[in-house]
Amino acid sequence: MGDLNSSVAGRKRDHIRIALGGDVVPPRFRDQFDEVVLIHEALPEVSFSDVDTSIDFLGKKLSAPLLVGAMTGGEAGTDIINANLAEAVEELGLGMGVGSQRPALMDPSVEYTFRIVRDRAPKALLLANLGGSNVFKMKPSEIRRAVEMIGADALEIHLNMLQELVQPEGEPDFRGLEESLDAICDEAGVPVLLKETGSGISMETAKRLEDKKVFGYDIGGAGGTSFAVIEGKRRDDDLALPFFDWGIPTVASLLEVRSVSDKPIIASGGLRNGLDAVKSLVLGATVASMARPLLRPATRSSEDVKRVLITVQKQMRMGMALVNARNVGELRKTKYVLLGSMESWARQRGLVTSAPRRGLARKKSGLGSGALSDPGSGKCTTVAQSFPDFALGYFAYGYRPPPRPEGRGSSSFRHAVTASCANGKPINKSDKFK
Ligand code: FNR
């Protein structure tokens, strides 16, 4: 363990240092997006130049459904990271979140590390950020101050029980948050999203929240940056070790939440390239979000951040062209197959029923023309049955993926992209074969 900072700002500094310094993604769900295979269209009715990734979200027009996830602010030096991210998203017509603003509510002298985001991105979509373990104890004026500090378009409340349990200065007590949510939504003055930070959101939780005034979810699933790992590295003991890969993987969390809710969903947690983002949208996300892959570039320059985001956007357009989607609406109708552990998850959680070995037949049901049925049971084999738009998943029966030689997924291209994003370098052909 390094020198542990126990002040809020010092803790933020530790997070950045550890996230920049080492591997903070446990292997278990690292390759979950490889288990989502989109059905290729060999005869697309689309020209690459016509693919339109733009969407409207939270009152803003985004050039693509892509955000930079909440990371930092609250300490001298973090303003540079936030400024570089903000300049990049402003120029590219995207959006971003800031890290928890509690340090600035406690010490107004560091407000500038957050304010700089709106200064550098006057038009971009910006998300304010407060912690679930303390937001419901705050005065309405403090919540509004966080929103006004960056002229936010929405407020994210982060849910991080695992982190609170593991971090030496944690506050692992969320009692009272759920019943306060409607009041917080009224007080915030902007739409409020609930954001997990690496453990995902289940369908049971989303169902319970369906009637709340919460605008939507940032599912923050497992498989990306793990705060159990980050906080574990700040400790002297092995307390966090068994929980490094705790949580609902992002792919599964998307299917879970979309199966019970039609509220907007931000997909985050382990997205590492534009194809992961495209897959997230097919699975039901409204917008995709990446955090740590942008951190290293953001310590350098806005140009470096832009280079990564431009590559991700191009990969999104490539993925859309390959499934014959001219726009994001068409993309959502894409068919897909789940493999391995994600297929098993979907089945065990009742998101699909087992497809029969042969004779999958389309059933003209009230569930949308894409719904499949199992003639044996008469049950629909769709994901998200109440959402025909997304209810187009096809599932392989009994499929087992081939062994992975490197134990880290089957796609060398994915690795090249991941490494490239992490390094902030553009992807080129030679990377593919590293
Ligand atoms: C984060 N994340 C985060 N989330 C949040 O809601 N408030 C915060 O203050 C922070 N701080 C933070 C710092 C650092 C250094 C990182 C890398 C991340 C979590 C982040 O928004 C996201 O949910 C996770 O990192 C998962 O996405 P990636 O990194 O796997 O793309």
**Residue 96 CB less than 6 A away from ligand 1:** no
CB of 126 within 8 A of CB of 118?
Answer: yes
**In sequence order, what are the residues at sequence separation of 6 or more whose Cβ sits closer than 8 angstroms to the Cβ of residue 275?**
33, 315, 316, 318, 319, 414, 417
pLDDT at 173: 92
Indicate whether 45 pLDDT > 70: yes
Indicate whether 316 pLDDT > 50: yes
Give the atom of ligand 1 at the shortest distance from the alpha carbon of 97: 21
Indicate whether 340 pLDDT > 70: yes
**Residue 93 CB less than 6 A away from ligand 1:** no
The share of the chain scoring above pLDDT 90, in percent, equals 77
Indicate whether 58 pLDDT > 90: yes
pLDDT at 383: 42
Q: Could you report the per-residue pLDDT of 377-389, keeping only the tens digit for each?
A: 323 333 433 333 3
Closest alpha carbon to 294 in 65, 33, 13, 69: 69
pLDDT at 22: 81
Indicate whether 185 pLDDT > 50: yes
CATH code, 2-331: 3.20.20.70
Q: Could you report the per-residue pLDDT of 228-276, keeping only the tens digit for each?
A: 999 999 998 999 999 999 999 999 999 999 999 999 999 999 999 999 9
**149 Cα–ligand 1 center, Å:** 20
* pLDDT, mean of residues 197-201: 98
pLDDT at 370: 30
The boundaries of every CATH 3.20.20.70 domain in the chain are: 2-331
**179 Cα–ligand 1 center, Å:** 25
Q: How far apart are CA 32 and CA 251, in angstroms?
A: 7
* pLDDT, mean of residues 310-338: 98
* pLDDT, mean of residues 83-107: 98
Q: How far apart are CA 205 and CA 161, in angstroms?
A: 14
Taking the alpha carbons of 209, 214, 216, 218 in that order, is the dihedral positive or negative?
negative
Q: How far apart are CA 109 and CA 100, in angstroms?
A: 15
More confident residue, 298 or 414: 298
How does residue 325 score in pLDDT terms, banded at 50, 70 and 90?
very high
**Residue 73 CB less than 6 A away from ligand 1:** no
Q: Hey, what amino acid is at 283?
A: L
